[in-house]
Amino acid sequence: MPKSTQSSKSVFSPSSGTKGTRLERLLRHPLVQFVAFGVFVAALVAIVTASFDVSGPSVQEKSIGEVAPSDIKATRDFTYTEPDVAATNALRERVAKSVPPVFDWQEGMADQVRERIDKAFASMRTALAERAQVHLQANRPQVYERIDKETSGTDAVSAWLEPMSQERLISWSHELRAEKFDPYLDTELSEASFETFAREGFSERTENALENVVGRVLSNMIVPDMGLIDEQQDRGIYLRRLRGDKLLIEYHITDVHERFVPMARTDNLVQRAVDQVLSPERNRQFRRAILSAASALVRPNTTYNESKTVEKRDAAREAVSDVVIREEFRKGQIVVEKGHIITERHYRIIDKMLEEDTYINRTQIIAGITLLVLLLVVTFYVFGRKNVRHFRPTTKDIVFMATSLVLMLSLTWLLSLLFHAVAEQSDWGPASTWYFLVPVAAGGMLIRLVLNNEHAIVFTIVFAALVGLVTGSSLYMMTYTLVGALVGIGAVQQVKHRMALMWSGLAVGAVNVAAVVAFILLDGELFQIETLRTAFFAFASGVTSGFFVLAVLPLFETVFGYTTDIKLLELANLNHPLLRELIIRAPGSYHHSMMVGSLSEAAAESVGANPLLCRVGSYYHDIGKAKNPQYFAENQKVGENPHDKLKPNMSALIIKAHVKDGLEMARQHRLPREIQDFIAQHHGTSLIAFFYHKAKQMEDPDIPEVDEKDYRYPGPKPQSRETAICMLADGIEAASRALPNPSPARLKGLVQKMINKAFTDGQLDECDLTLKDLNSIAKAFTRILTGIYHHRPEYPEQAPRRPARPEPQEPAAEDTQRTPPARGRRGSGAQKAAPAPEPPKAETSLADVSSDVWEITKEKVESMQKETDAGRSGDSGKGERAPKGAESASNDSDEGRESLPRLGTN
C-alpha cells in the first residue's frame, strides 16, 4: 500500500470503484486529453499574442464575387507567387514514370537448393541403411564375410546393400519417400528420376552430380519472363543483390537483355550443365534422371519488386518542386479594375499584399510565444511532478488549473485593454499604473482553496510569468503577481467560512501596497500624487481578489465537482436536515457518528490525511439508519429486539440496507460524492458476523445452505485513506462500548485487534494506507479512547443511583447485531463507600456520567423534536416522539444508555 501523496487539504480522490462524473470519464480518453492540451496552449498563445502589436495595414477586405466599387491598386512593390497544381502534378507523373523498376536477385538461391538436396539424399541414405541393417540381421555371417575390415562408412554401406536386390531397394525408397525425401527437397521429382536415384542408393556421387548441375544453372539471373525486362531497354533497371534477407548491393544496369535468362530457356542451361558435369560414359538413364531433377529444382531467382519500385517513384515525385506562377506588381498598379468581379485569384493577391509586410514578424512572435508557453507549462509541471511531494494532479485537477489559468489570463488581458482606453480618456496616469488594479492574486487563492499549496504555487509561478508578457514584459507586474498570490495562498489556509475570504483579500492588499512602494522607490518617484493612486489600486486589487474568489468558488465547486474545506464546514453544521433527522429518529446512531467523527479526525491528523473530511464524512456515514432505527442495537430499548422475530438472512438484509438507504438520502440532499463515499465504503465488504454465525448454527449440517456472500456488505472497499479511517473508527467505537474494564492496556489491545481484523480481511487492500499509517492510527484511537474512558473519582451521592449489575461476559463485535440484554454497568462496586484495605478496582465507564449531562442531552432531543413536530400534523402518535426516543436512549442497553452520555465525558 504506497503512501498517498494527496495533500490533507485536497479532498478530490476519485474512488476506483466508482465510474466518476461524465466529465471525468470523458477526460480519461487520450484523444480528448491531447485535444484539450492543444486548445489550452492555443488559448494561452492567442491571449499573449493579442497583447503584441502585429497588425498589418488597415485595408478593407473584399468578398469574392462582389463588384469592385473602385480600382484596387497595389500599395507597394511585391511579387505574387502561386503554385500551378496541374502543371506540378503532370511533371511529377512524368518523373515517376522515368524511374526504372527494381528487381531482386537472390544470389544465395543456389546454396539453398544445394542444402535441400544434401538433406534429402543424406536422409534417404540413413533410412535405407537402417532398413538394410534390420533386413540383414539374419544373414550377418555372410554379410560380414563380404565387408572388408579396412573399408569406411560409405563403402561399408555399399557392401551391405550389394546382397539385396534393386527391386527391394526401390520398394524401400518408395516407402520412405514421403517422410524422408520429399519434405527436405521441397520439390516432387518424376518417378523415373526417383527410381534411378534409388538404384544408385542415393549415393554421394549422385548427390554431388545433381548439386553441380543445379548450381551451374542458378548462377545465372533467371526471370519468369522477359516481358518487363524488354520494356526497360532504354532506361535499364535497378538490381538488388540479396543473400537471404540481407541486401548486398544495389546498382543500376542497362544491358538487361544479355544479363537475364527467362525460365523458358533454362532447359538449355540444364542440358549444357549436365554435359559439363557428367562424363560421356554415364548411362542415358542416369543422365535423364539428373536432367529431369535439375529442371524441377531450377526456379526464377530474379523477381520484380513492386513495393521498392513504388517507393522509388514516390520519392522521385516528392523531389519535384512545385511549378510556381510568378507575377510582379508595382506600387500603384491596378490589381482589380473598377466594375470588375473580384475572383478568388484577386482575393489571394490582395491578401498577400496586405500580409506580406507583417508575416515574418507575426510568425516569429507566435513561434516564440508558443515555445515560451510550452516551456513554462511543461517545465514546471514535470519539475513539480518529480520533485514536489504533494504535486500529483489528476486529469480533472489539470483541467481545472488550465481553465483557471486561461480565465485569469483572459481577465488580465481584457482589463489591460480597458485600462488602455481609460488611460487615453483620463488623466489618472498611464495604463501601466492601472495594471496594479488587476486581481492577480485570485487565481492562486482559488487553486489553494480547491487543491493544495503545491498546486497553487506552481500555478502562480506560471501565471506570473504570463502576466509579465501580457502587460508588456513587465518585471514589476510579474513580481507583483508572484508576491501577492503567495500571500493570498497563505492567507486562505485557515479560512473557516466564505466571508473570511474578504479578510484574506485585505492581507493581500496590504502586501500589494508594500510591493508597489518598493517599485516606486526603485523609480525614485515616492512623493508624488501618482504614488497614492498606485497604492490605492494595489490595495483594491487585493480586496477585489477576495471578492472574486468568493464569487467564482461555488461555480467551480459545482462544475468540477470539488468539495472544498468551506463546503465541508457548511456540512459540519449539526443543524443540517439529515443530522437533525438522525438525532431525532436514531439518537444512538447519531451519538455513535459524533464519536466516530472525533476518532477519525484525530487519526487523519496523525497520518496527514484530511481531518475535516474524515470528521464530516463520519457524521453522515450512518444516516441510512434513520429509515429503520429500531433494527439497530444502539437505538433499541431493553428487551425489544425486532431481530428476535426474523430469520438471520432477513436481519442481514435489513442491516445491509442502511448503506443503500443512506446513499439515497445523500443523493436527495445533494451531498458531495466524497461524503457519499463514506456511506458506501464504511463497511467495505465486511462480514455481518453475528447473523452469519447464527445462521450457521441454525443450518442443517447435512444440507449446507448458508452462503457467506449473503452476509457481507456489498462494498466497495474503502478507496481512500479517509474512508478507510472511518471504517476502522466505526468498528472500534462500537466494540469499545462492550469492553469490560476499559483500561488503557485493554483499549490498546482492542484497537490493535480491530485494525488487524480489517487488514487480514482485505478491507484495506484498495486504499493508500501504509503499515506505518496503521500504527499511527492505532495510537490516535487509543489516545482518544483512553481519554474518554478515563478513571474518575466516585462521589458518594452518586452511589445509590445505579444498582450494581453483573459484568458482561462477551463484548459484541458488531454494533448492529446485538440483542440488548439487561446488562450490568461497569463500576458496579462504586456504590459501597465503606473503607477497605485497597480501593476497589473501578471499572469506570460512561454509565457513571452525571445525570445532569444526561438531562441536558435529553432536553436537546426534546427541543429538536418539538421544532420538527411544529411543521408536521398528525405525527404525535408515532413511535419517533422525542420523549420516547430519549427514553429509549436512557435504557440500560448497550446502544441506548451508554451512547448518548458518552459525549459528556470527553
Three state DSSP letters for 734-754? HHHCCCCCCCHHHHHHHHHHH
Closest to 295 (Cα-Cα) out of 263, 260, 334, 335: 263
Asked if residues 459 and 391 have their Cβ atoms less than 8 Å apart, the reply is: no
Task: From residue 206, give the alpha-carbon distance in Å to each of 198, 285, 289.
Answer: 10, 13, 10
Establish if 195 belongs to a structural domain.
yes
Query: Mean pLDDT over residues 625-645, rounded?
Result: 85
Give the domain-ending residue among 310, 326, 358: 310
> Does residue 580 sit in the same domain as residue 523?
no
Q: Which pLDDT band holds residue 775 (cuts at 50, 70, 90)? A: very high
> Does residue 299 sit in the same domain as residue 396?
no
> Does residue 539 sit in the same domain as residue 678?
no
Closest to 738 (Cα-Cα) out of 648, 841, 821, 851: 821
Establish if 858 belongs to a structural domain.
yes
> What would the pLDDT profile of 168-223 be if each residue is shown by its tens digit?
778 888 888 888 888 888 888 888 888 888 888 888 888 888 888 888 888 888 88
> Does residue 41 sit in the same domain as residue 154?
no
- What pLDDT does 883 receive? 34
Specify the higher pLDDT residue, 774 or 191. 774
Asked if residue 635 has pLDDT above 50, the reply is yes
CB under 8 A, 24+ apart: contacts of 603-606:
603/725, 603/728, 603/729, 603/776, 603/777, 603/780, 603/781, 604/8, 604/721, 604/722, 604/725, 605/780, 606/776, 606/777, 606/779, 606/780
pTM for this structure?
0.51
Task: From residue 606, give the alpha-carbon distance in Å to each of 389, 493, 599, 611, 775.
Answer: 18, 19, 11, 9, 10
Establish if 334 belongs to a structural domain.
no
Q: Could you tell me the three cell numbers for 510?
A: 496590504
Say which residues have a Cβ less than 8 Å from residue 867's Cβ, sequence separation at least 6.
none
Q: Which pLDDT band holds residue 892 (cuts at 50, 70, 90)? A: very low
Which amino acid is it at 487? V
For 69-73, 382-386, 589-593, 697-701, which range has the lowest pLDDT when averaged over its residues? 69-73
> Does residue 548 sit in the same domain as residue 599?
no
Give the separation between CA 383 and CA 376, rounded to whole angstroms. 11
Give the domain-ending residue among 310, 342, 357: 310
- What pLDDT does 678 receive? 94
Query: Mean pLDDT over residues 829-838, rounded?
Result: 35
Q: Which pLDDT band holds residue 620 (cuts at 50, 70, 90)? A: very high
Specify the higher pLDDT residue, 759 or 501. 759
Cell 487488514 belongs to: 759
> Does residue 530 sit in the same domain as residue 668?
no
Q: Which pLDDT band holds residue 72 (cuts at 50, 70, 90)? A: confident
Q: Pairing relation of β-strands 302-304 and 102-106?
A: antiparallel
> Does residue 722 sit in the same domain as residue 670?
yes
- What pLDDT does 578 receive? 92
Give the separation between CA 537 and CA 688, rounded to whole angstroms. 64
Tally of CB atoms within 10 A around 486: 21
> Does residue 107 sit in the same domain as residue 211?
yes
Give the separation between CA 726 and CA 679, rounded to whole angstroms. 10
Closest to 780 (Cα-Cα) out of 615, 588, 565: 615
Specify the higher pLDDT residue, 876 or 34. 34
Asked if residue 544 has pLDDT above 80, the reply is yes
CA torsion, ordered 767, 770, 773, 777, to nearest 10 deg: 60
Specify the higher pLDDT residue, 860 or 291. 291
> Does residue 174 sit in the same domain as residue 301?
yes
Phi-psi region of 144 (alpha: psi -120 to 50; beta: other; left: phi over 0): alpha
Reduced 3-state DSSP string for 344-358: HHHHHHHHHHHHHHH
Q: Could you tell me the three cell numbers for 634?
A: 444502539
Give the domain-ending residue among 264, 283, 310: 310
> Does residue 623 sit in the same domain as residue 504?
no
Establish if 512 belongs to a structural domain.
yes
- What pLDDT does 384 receive? 85
Query: Mean pLDDT over residues 640-665, rounded?
Result: 89
User: Which residues is 304 bridged to in the sheet?
Assistant: 103
Q: Per the structure, how many domains does the chain have?
A: 3
For 284-293, 429-438, 610-619, which range has the lowest pLDDT when averaged over its residues? 429-438
> What would the pLDDT profile of 483-521 be if each residue is shown by its tens digit?
988 998 888 876 766 677 778 888 888 998 898 888 888
> What would the pLDDT profile of 408-425 be if each residue is shown by its tens digit?
988 988 888 888 777 767
- What pLDDT does 76 receive? 65
Task: From residue 601, give the alpha-carbon distance in Å to each of 566, 628, 666, 787, 834.
Answer: 16, 28, 21, 15, 43
- Element (DSSP H or E) covering residue 247: strand 246-253
> Does residue 476 sit in the same domain as residue 624?
no
Establish if 644 belongs to a structural domain.
yes
Query: Mean pLDDT over residues 81-105, rounded?
Result: 86
Establish if 232 belongs to a structural domain.
yes
Specify the higher pLDDT residue, 157 or 611. 611
Phi–psi pair at 845, nearest 5 degrees: -135, 180
Instruction: Find the domain containing 400 and state its range.
Output: 22-51+388-560
Q: Which pLDDT band holds residue 162 (cuts at 50, 70, 90)? A: low
Q: Could you tell me the three cell numbers for 394?
A: 489528476
Asked if residue 54 has pLDDT above 90, the reply is no
Asked if residue 828 has pLDDT above 50, the reply is no
Establish if 241 belongs to a structural domain.
yes
Tally of CB atoms within 10 A around 762: 12
> Does residue 611 sit in the same domain as residue 686?
yes
Q: Output b/e per residue, 233-251; b: 16+ Cβ within 10 A.
A: eeebbbbbbbeeeeeeeee
User: Which residues is 103 bridged to in the sheet?
Assistant: 239, 304
Whole-number average pLDDT of the chain: 76
Give the separation between CA 679 and CA 675, rounded to whole angstroms. 7
Closest to 685 (Cα-Cα) out of 4, 13, 17, 2: 17
Asked if residues 163 and 142 have their Cβ atoms less than 8 Å apart, the reply is: yes
